[in-house]
Structure formats: structure tokens, C-alpha cells
Structure 1
Amino acid sequence: METHKTTFHFKSLVASEGFKLESTNKRNNDLFTAEFLEIFSNKDEEDKATGTISNPLSYDVNIKNKVFDFIDRNSSKFPSLNGLTSFFNKLEEGNLYVIIFNIELTAELSLYLSSHLKAWENDEDVNKLVKEDMDLFGTTFENYRTRIAGDFRKAVGNPIRKQRVCRFCNESMPKVTFKKKAHAISEALGNKNIVLYDECDKCNERFGKTIEGDIITYLELFRTIYGIKGKGGKKKIKGKNFEASKGEGNQIEIKFFSLDDRPKVGDDYNIKLEFDKKVTHQNIYKTLTKFFISVIDDSELPNFEDSINWINGKINAKELPLVGEAINYDTFVHHPRLLYFLRKSDDTNLPYAVCQFFYTCKMFLFVVPFSSKDSVELNRKIDWKHTFKSLSHLDKYKGWGFYNHSNNTPRTFTISLNTDIKTEE
């Protein structure tokens, strides 16, 4: 029986959200769509707002209340509607947004719409702003197909359980089961938006026990500082020499177990936070790659068979490409976001798959290793200067440091914080 799909994306400068409606009954699908879009249409106009991309809509409390009423009446059948509650709660008077209906929201389209929204809200020249933003991404869009994962609620893979094939072990039912909800990006990092149908329970449990814990520990301080709600809610960190938790407002409370570790009033002090969990750096790289494998279209999977073998421990890697890391508050996100780029040409001097992973103010830049589309040498080393020229948008991010995550031995994990301790007046 044919499944009818309808997608909606809501985009503003302060929030983004989306949901997908799937039904075997086309008439029910059409009635739902018509009723939902009626909320946003102008009744004085003959042509209802049922186009592919709406005109800019201004935040309105009455529309918000109608949306919430619609959600109350329909969320039991379509739980993904609940994401719109968060979207409208983030909007304020004067904020504009657009509705993207039945169109894939690619990175190019998202950037194009953001440029328009900025121009409309700030009364700027639309064409000028669009040109500036598109020029910034010039070589990026020229050399790479660009996609975003994590901003919107989405389920990747086959929704029919009996037909699923696990992306990581290539097994299907009844040999493996698919009963648990597999998050494409670790739920412990705050991902509530994107899930993967095609990950079996056995692989899901194995990755949770082996590789994913390392990146969770690596990013644990960011999770606590910014109050990111992961699996089980907000987390308190307890290390070897400290305990940290989110205090009132923007305050962070750090308690030291020894007076020798505490900062002294009036001094510039380098605080060392020693974690009680060791970190295996290659597992961090493996997990980042697993996030990528979990969100791509299944037609791309044959290009990454050895990448999956490496994640599974079937390939021993002693030398991997360096991974970029940076702090950037302009790209701050409340939900993990993966921006990935797939090379358009056969130019093997460029890596086939490059990814940016955003977590709060932290950014990672990495190549997906062991792609069949890349040379053997590129799986060990990468000329990041050459790659930056082919991904021109990377120039806007400053402060990159490139680190070796090849080590496969658990190591003690310590974070150093430079602070200026002052008394309260």
C-alpha cells in the first residue's frame, strides 16, 4: 500500500523545527494538511498559503494559540507535532518565520532563507545580503553537496520494522531486533530530534558501552555549563578532584575536594579539572563518524563500508587525519547539529566526505575516513589548507586547532580552565 508523505519545516532566525506526516490514506493526509495550513492563511486573500514556501509570517499570539490547540487535538496521532511548541515558545514579537512545505530543506536553501529573514527583520537590502552570504559559501556549494542534520525532527531509514537492515552489522530480523529507539546522535548529548530506524538493538547497546561514552565525557563540561538536557535530564559532573553543576541563572558551581585545588582570591588561576573516566581519543573520532553514517541517505552507504568496518573495530587504524576543534559563540546551538559535505566531482585531492559537528559553542571539523571514494593516503593525512579553499565558508570560523585523535589507548582526561577570581563587592 502506498504511503503518502508530507513535510513541514518552520524556520526563523531564532529557531527551526520540522515534522513529517506519513499516511496510507491520501484523503486524510490532504485534510490534515489543509486544516493545518489554514491556521496561517490570510482569510482576506483568495489564494491560501498552501505554496511550497510561504511568504514571511510575523509572530502572532493568536496564531500561536491556534497552533497549540491544533497540537492538542492531533499530537496523539502525530507526536512529532509537539516540536512546534518549542519553536513558537522561542519566538517573540517582531520575529519573522517561513513555512517550507514538501521541499527538502538543504543547506543552500536554509542559508538563502536566513539571508531573507535577516534582511526583512533589519530592513536591509535583500539582494545584497543574499549575495554576501552566497559568496561566502561560493566554493563550498561549487565543490560539495551540503546537508544538515539535527535541526529538525526526523527519522532516518526504513519505518517498517520487518524490512529493516542494520547499517552497522548488515543483519535483519529475526537474527536481530529493532525494538529500541536508536538516536542518530547520542541522546546523552541532548539529541531529541533525529533517530535512526536502521540500527539494531545489539549494535545500539554495543556502541553505547564501547565508543560513545568517550565523546560524552569529552563534552561533559559543555553539557553541564549550558544545561543541556540529555538522557535522564541535566547532569552533574563528579570527577577525581571536583564536582560541577549548573547553578542559578548562568552560574556554574564548582566544588573542589581539596583546598590545594581551589583558586585563591585575587589570583589568575589555572584550574585543573581531573575526570574520573578515561578517554580513548580514537573512539571520539569513531563516534563522530558514526553520527555521519547514521544520518546519510542509504544510497551513500556503499561508499563507506570500510568506515563502518573501522567503527566496528574490524580495521586497525594507527594514523588518522587530524580533527579540527574550535569555540565559536556565533554558532551556538541548543541541539547537536551535523553539517556534512559530499564531494560533487571525482577530484580525489579533496576528501569525499567532510563534516562539521556543532555542540553548544564547540565545533568539530573532520573527514570521514576510509571512504572508497578517497585515496589510501587521504585516509591518513589531509591537506586542510587545500580543503579550506574548497570549503570557503570555513574562513568565517576562527581559532581552529587541529588535534590527533588516532590514539586507541584510554588516557586520563583533564580540562584546564584559566580564571580570574575576584571577591564580590
Structure 2
Amino acid sequence: MTIVMNFFGNNIEPALIEHLDIYRVFLGIKGKNGVPKIKYKNGHMQYENNMSIVVSQGFKRVSDKEFTINLESTKSLTPAKLYKALCKITLSTIDEKHMVDLKQTVKWLTCVDTPQLRLPRVAANVVHNGFSKVPQIVNYIRKIDDFGIPHIVSEFRIGSFVYVYIIPFSEKDTVDFIADEEYEKFWDTFKHYRSINDWRFDCLDSIKEMSINENIRLVQNGQP
């Protein structure tokens, strides 16, 4: 177990932590080392005196009330590691009795040299209802023999940022929910998600590192 946990800590968890750093700075959410200060090639972000501070050479004035900020990351992201990090949260929070059906999932999670595999899309959105600075996880586990619904689906939330994802490779699933019609049937079943607009459905299959830049839009509302 120690070897497995070290693998997650050194290889998988940083993908999610670094992905969420910008949200943590905006929300002032502390981790093991406090609220992160993020360094970029052209600036930095930090949380100080109960406010987020952005220093960047990438400021652009769109109008008197609107600015955009481009931040060039010094780090890269591997999409498949991000998916694995989300799944790791799920596996650490479900009843151990379900693990017997997730042997292939665990094998995928812990294999360093996993080839690129097709994975279900990850739904992401900003949902202000239910806002919480404390990270939250909700797990849905299928109890009926309707194989158009995944065995396990999870919702991970931090602040207003919500991710909904399927745990892949369960032995209780007969389809992989990659085809559009399979995914749509699953999504239609979760009507409380379907009723919310503006979901983004991300493909996190790639095992290649990607450079990620942040683009922030600031708009002044109301009277000055």
C-alpha cells in the first residue's frame, strides 16, 4: 500500500493540485503548504490580505470596464494524469467492497507506462449553487442492472468548479461510454446535471505533456 500511495503522491496527485492552483488562489483555499503562489513566465498570482493579486505583463484593456490577462505557465499538464487523479479521489472514498470490480481500474491507475487509452469525457462547469471552499466528492454507484448507466460516477467540487466523471474499466460495465450515444444516455439519466447549461466535455485521453496558459477575463459590474 505504501508503494501505491507513493506512486499516487509523486506521479498522479500533482496533476490535479497544479490544475486547481489557480482556483485555490482566487478562493484563498489553503493546502498543506498554505495558499499557493503561482509563478508564470510573465507574472505571478498570490492570495494576500483576503484578496487575489495578479501581476502580469499580459494585461490587455478591452474597454473601460473589461480587462483580459494572459498568464504563460511554466509547467505542463498531462491530461490522462488529471483523469487518474480524479479517479484516485473516488477510489479513496468508496466502500472497499466495490474494489473487487475495479481491478482493471487500479491497474490503469498504478501503471507508469500505460499506453494511451480512450476514456469517457469529463464534464466540467462553474456552478455557484452549492459553493464550498472545502473540496467535496459525491459518488453514485449503480444498484440496478441497467448497463446504460456507469457502475460508478463521481462529482468533484472545489468552490464553484464542478467535475463529473465516470470511473473507467469497471468489470460491472458492459460499455465504455466513449461513443456519443452511450455517453448521451448516461448524461440524460443524471437530470440534475442535464438541467444546468454551459457544461464543457473534456477529452483527457492524452498521455503527452501539454503547455497550459491561463486566460482571465475581468469585468466591472455595477456603478463605479
Query: Under a length normalisation based on structure 1, what TM-score does the superposition of the two structures give?
Result: 0.49
Consecutive unaligned residues of structure 2, counting only runs of 5 or more, are: none
The answer to whether residue 105 in structure 2 is matched with residue 307 in structure 1 is yes
Q: Deviations over 1:126-176 (max 9, x none)?
A: xxxxxxxxxxxxxxxxxxxxxxxxxxxxxxxxxxxxxxxx3xxxxxxxxxx
Find the residue that maps to 2:100 and give its secondary structure. Answer: helix
Q: Deviations over 1:403-422 (max 9, x none)?
A: 10001111101121122479
Match in the other structure for 2:137: 338
Match in the other structure for 1:353: 152
> Relative to structure 1, is the Cα distance of residues 359 and 395 closer, same or farther in structure 2, using a 3 angstrom cutoff?
same
Q: Deviations over 1:4-35 (max 9, x none)?
A: xxxxxxxxxxxxxxxxxxxxxxxxxxxxxxxx
Shift, 1:381, TM fit: 3.7
Match in the other structure for 1:295: 93
Shift, 1:230, TM fit: 0.4
Match in the other structure for 1:387: 186
Find the residue that maps to 1:402 and give its secondary structure. Answer: strand
Match in the other structure for 2:28: 227
Match in the other structure for 1:255: 55
Shift, 1:370, TM fit: 0.3
Query: Under a length normalisation based on structure 2, what TM-score does the superposition of the two structures give?
Result: 0.89
Q: Which amino acid aligns with 2:54?
A: I
Match in the other structure for 1:272: 70
Structure-2 separation of matches of 1:330 and 1:296? 25
Q: Would the aligned equivalents of 2:7 and 2:110 in 1 still touch at CA under 8 Å?
A: no
Match in the other structure for 1:403: 202
The answer to whether residue 41 in structure 2 is matched with residue 243 in structure 1 is no
Percent identical pairs in the alignment equals 23
Q: Which amino acid aligns with 1:255?
A: V
Which of these residues, 99, 106, 127, is aligned with residue 328 of structure 1?
127
Shift, 1:254, TM fit: 0.6
Q: Deviations over 1:249-289 (max 9, x none)?
A: 4x321112x3xx22347374432122211000100000111
Q: Would the aligned equivalents of 1:325 and 1:402 in 2 still touch at CA under 8 Å?
A: yes
Find the residue that maps to 2:99 and give its secondary structure. Answer: helix
Shift, 1:330, TM fit: 0.9
Q: Which amino acid aligns with 1:252?
A: S
Structure-1 separation of matches of 2:72 and 2:128? 25
Shift, 1:214, TM fit: 1.1
The answer to whether residue 83 in structure 2 is matched with residue 282 in structure 1 is no
Shift, 1:232, TM fit: 1.4
CA RMSD of aligned residues (A): 2.2
Structure-2 separation of matches of 1:238 and 1:310? 32
Alignment of 1:48-127 (within 5 A): none
Find the residue that maps to 1:277 and give its secondary structure. Answer: strand
Shift, 1:396, TM fit: 4.3
Find the residue that maps to 1:252 and give its secondary structure. Answer: strand
Larger proportion of strand:
2
Equivalenced residue count is 220
Which of these residues, 194, 211, 216, is aligned with residue 17 of structure 2?
216
Q: Would the aligned equivalents of 1:325 and 1:364 in 2 still touch at CA under 8 Å?
A: yes
Higher relative contact order (Cα pairs below 8 Å, separated by 6+ residues) = 2
Larger proportion of helix:
1
Query: Stretches of 4+ moved more than 4 A in 1?
Result: none
Q: Would the aligned equivalents of 1:310 and 1:316 in 2 still touch at CA under 8 Å?
A: no
Structure-2 separation of matches of 1:354 and 1:386? 14
Structure-1 separation of matches of 2:33 and 2:49? 20
Q: Would the aligned equivalents of 2:45 and 2:55 in 1 still touch at CA under 8 Å?
A: yes
Match in the other structure for 1:79: none
Consecutive unaligned residues of structure 1, counting only runs of 5 or more, are: 1-165, 167-199
Q: Would the aligned equivalents of 2:28 and 2:52 in 1 still touch at CA under 8 Å?
A: no
Shift, 1:234, TM fit: 1.6
Q: Deviations over 1:287-336 (max 9, x none)?
A: 11111111111111011000001101265342111110000111211211
Q: Would the aligned equivalents of 2:70 and 2:215 in 1 still touch at CA under 8 Å?
A: yes
Which of these residues, 366, 375, 392, is aligned with residue 165 of structure 2?
366
Structure-2 separation of matches of 1:243 and 1:340? 35
Q: Which amino acid aligns with 1:391?
A: F
